Amino acid sequence: MKNDTLYLDTNSKTETIELPKFGEIRLIVQNGKVIRTETTISQKIE
């Protein structure tokens, strides 16, 4: 099964971020622009 994807478009390029099955994505924004992304991947304990 394919994970969902987040697309960030700018004038010069498109960033593609694959979303983890469990975890979080942080977008660090400065002056209205995304300057950095952080991905934290978690694992589900069964």
Q: Identify the CA nearest to 23 among candidates 43, 4, 45.
A: 43
| pLDDT score of 2 | 77
Q: In the structure encoding, which two tokens stand for residue 46, read together?
A: 């069964």
What is the distance between the alpha carbons of residues 44 and 4, in angstroms, rounded to a whole number?
Answer: 18
The two tokens of residue 22 are 């469990």
pLDDT score, position 32? 85
Q: Per residue in 3-22, pLDDT tens?
A: 799 898 877 888 888 888 89
Stated pTM of the model: 0.65
Q: Is 39 within 8 Å of 20 (Cβ atoms)?
A: yes
Residue with tokens 């978690």: 42
Domain positions in the chain: 5-41
- The predicted-structure confidence for 19-40, as pLDDT tens digits, reads as follows 888 999 999 999 988 889 999 9
